Amino acid sequence: MIAWKILITDGLNESGKMILQASAQVDDCTDIQPADLLRIVSRYEAMIVRGRTKVTADLLEAAKHLKVVGRAGVGVDNIDLQAAYSREITVVNAPFSTTLAVAELTLALLFNVARAIPKADQSMKKGQWIKKQLEGVELSGKTLGIIGLGNIGGAVAQRAQALGMTVLAYDIIALPSEEWARLVSLETLYAQSDFITIHVPLNEHTRGMINGAAMMSMKPGVRLICTARGGIIDESALLNNLKSGRIAAAGLDVFAQEPTGLTELIAHPNVITTPHIGAQTEEAQARAGVDIAEEVLRALSGEPLRWKVI
User: So which residues are the catalytic ones?
Assistant: 229, 258, 276
Instruction: Give the nearest distance from C-beta 173 to ligand NAD in angstroms.
Output: 5
Residue closer to ligand NAD, measured from CB, 135 or 204? 204
Residue 149 in contact with ligand NAD, rule: CB under 6 A? yes
The binding track of 129-148 with respect to ligand NAD, each residue x by CB under 6 A or -, is ------------------xx
Residue 10 in contact with ligand NAD, rule: CB under 6 A? no
The binding track of 81-120 with respect to ligand NAD, each residue x by CB under 6 A or -, is --------------x--xx--x------------------
Q: Which of 13, 197, 206, 285: binder of ligand NAD (CB under 6 A)?
A: 206
Residue 172 in contact with ligand NAD, rule: CB under 6 A? yes
Q: Which of 59, 69, 113, 175: binder of ligand NAD (CB under 6 A)?
A: 175
Residue closer to ligand NAD, measured from CB, 9 or 99? 99
- Tell me how many degrees the CA angle 35-40-41 measures, rounded to the nearest 5: 95
Residue 201 in contact with ligand NAD, rule: CB under 6 A? yes
Q: Which of 70, 231, 278, 289: binder of ligand NAD (CB under 6 A)?
A: 278
How many residues touch ligand NAD (CB under 6 A)?
33
Contacting residues toward ligand NAD, per CB under 6 A: 73-75, 95, 98-99, 102, 147-153, 170-173, 175, 199-202, 205-206, 227-229, 253-254, 276, 278-279
